[in-house]
A and B are shown apart, each in its own frame.
Chain A
Amino acid sequence: MKEKPKVYALSTCPYCKRTKRFLEEHKIVYDCVDVDLLADNKQDEALEEVEKLTGRRSFPVVIIGKEIIVGHDEDKLRKALKL
Chain B
Amino acid sequence: MSDAKPERVYCPVCLARFKFQEGWKEGSTVTCPICGQKLTLRRTPEGWVGDRPDKGTEKEIRERAEAYARLKGYVFNEMKEEILQGLLGKNRRFGDFYCPCRMEHTPEFQCPCKPTRGGDVDRNGKCYCGFFWKSQ
Q: Which residues of A does B touch, CB under 8 Å?
A: 10-15, 17, 35-37, 47, 57, 59
Q: A17-B82, A36-B93 are in contact. Are A12 and B100 (CB under 8 A)?
A: yes
Give the distance in Å from the alpha carbon of A51 to the alpha carbon of B133 in the complex.
Answer: 27
Interface presence of B86 (CB below 8 A): yes
| Chain B interface size range | 10 to 19
Contact code string B103-115 (vs A, CB < 8 Å = 1, else 0): 1000000000000
A13-B86 contact in complex given A36-B103, A47-B103, C-beta closer than 8 Å: yes
Complex contacts, A35 vs chain B, CB 8 Å: 103
B126 at the interface (CB under 8 A from A): no
**A12 and B79: CB pair below 8 A?**
no
In this complex, what residue of A is CB-closest to B105? Answer: A36
Contact yes or no, B93 A59, CB < 8 A: no
B86 with A12: CB separation less than 8 A: yes
Task: Judge whether B34 is part of the interface by a CB distance below 8 angstroms.
Answer: no
Residues of A within 8 A of B21 (CB): none
A11 touches B93 (CB 8 A): yes
Q: Is the CB of A12 within 8 A of B103?
A: no
> Do the beta carbons of A14 and B103 come within 8 Å of each other?
no
* Contact across chains for A14 and B93 when beta carbons are under 8 A apart: no
Residues of chain A with a CB closer than 8 A to B100's CB: 10, 12-14
